[in-house]
Amino acid sequence: MSSLAKPVEAADAFRAGLQIDPKNEQIENALQKVEVQIANTPKDWEDAKTRGNESYRNGAYEDAIGWYTVGLDLLGVRLTDGVDVGANRQSDGDEKKEKPSHAAAPSKNIAALLANRAEARRQLSDVKACVRDCDLALEYEPSHIKAMIRRALAYEYLERFDLSAADFGNALKLDAGNQIAREGHRRVSAFAAKLKTERD
C-alpha cells in the first residue's frame, strides 16, 4: 500500500460524508486538512527529488534533506542517520562494508537521492554525514561521479587529503573534462604527497 493510500481513502470517506450531510463543518474541515496533506505528499520518489532540488536551490538545505529522505523512503530504503538499516557500517573509511540491503530498488535512483542529500548536508557543514551518504551512494552506483566529487570535497574539508585526492582522481578517470574534479585534484594532491612523505 502506498503512503498516499490512507489519506486518499480518508478524503473519499469525508466526501461521501458530505454527500449525506453537506452542511457538516467538522467533516468539511477534516476533508480540507486531508487534501492539504495529500497535496504536500510526493507522488513518487521523483516528485520528492524535485521538491528537494527546489528547496536546495532556495537555500533551504534542511528541507532538501527531508525531501531526499522521503524519496529514499518511497523507494523502500530505510536509513537511520544516513546508514542503510541492515548494513554493518561505521563512518570514516575503515568500516566493514556489506552490500546495501535494498537491491530490488533501482540503484541509480537511490544513488542520485543519496548524492543530492550528501550535498545538502555538506552545505550545512555536516561533512561526516555527507561522507556517509556518499559512501552508500557509491555502494549502490560505484561510478557515480557526483558522489565521488562530493565525498572528495568533504574529505578535503576534514583534511583527509589522501582520500580526497583518490576520489578526485577516480572522478577524473571517469570524466577527464570535469573541471571541479581537475581543480580539486590539483588543490589536494600536494597536501596528500606531503602527508605520504611524512609517513614514509
Listed residue (170, 160, 165, 162) closest to 184, CA to CA: 165
pLDDT at residue 103, as a whole number: 47
Backbone φ and ψ of 14, nearest 5°: -65, -40
Listed residue (179, 181, 103, 177) closest to 147, CA to CA: 181
Backbone φ and ψ of 95, nearest 5°: -75, 155
Q: Helices in 21-144 by DSSP H: which ranges?
A: 25-39, 45-57, 61-74, 107-123, 127-140
Provide CB contacts within 8 A for 177, sequence distance 6+.
Answer: none
Identify the residue whose cell numbers are 530504503: 77
- Cα gap 136→30, rounded to integer Å: 41
In 54-193, the DSSP E strands lie at: 79-80, 83-84
Per-residue pLDDT of the chain (200 residues; tens, 9 = 90+): 344 457 778 888 989 988 999 999 998 998 888 888 888 788 899 999 999 999 999 999 999 999 999 999 999 887 655 554 433 333 344 333 334 444 456 899 999 999 999 999 999 999 999 999 999 999 999 999 999 999 999 999 999 999 999 999 999 999 999 999 999 999 998 877 766 666 66
pTM over 0.85: no
Residues 81, 91 contacting (CB under 8 angstroms): no
Neighbours of 10 (CB within 10 A): 17
pLDDT at residue 81, as a whole number: 52
Backbone φ and ψ of 108, nearest 5°: -65, -35
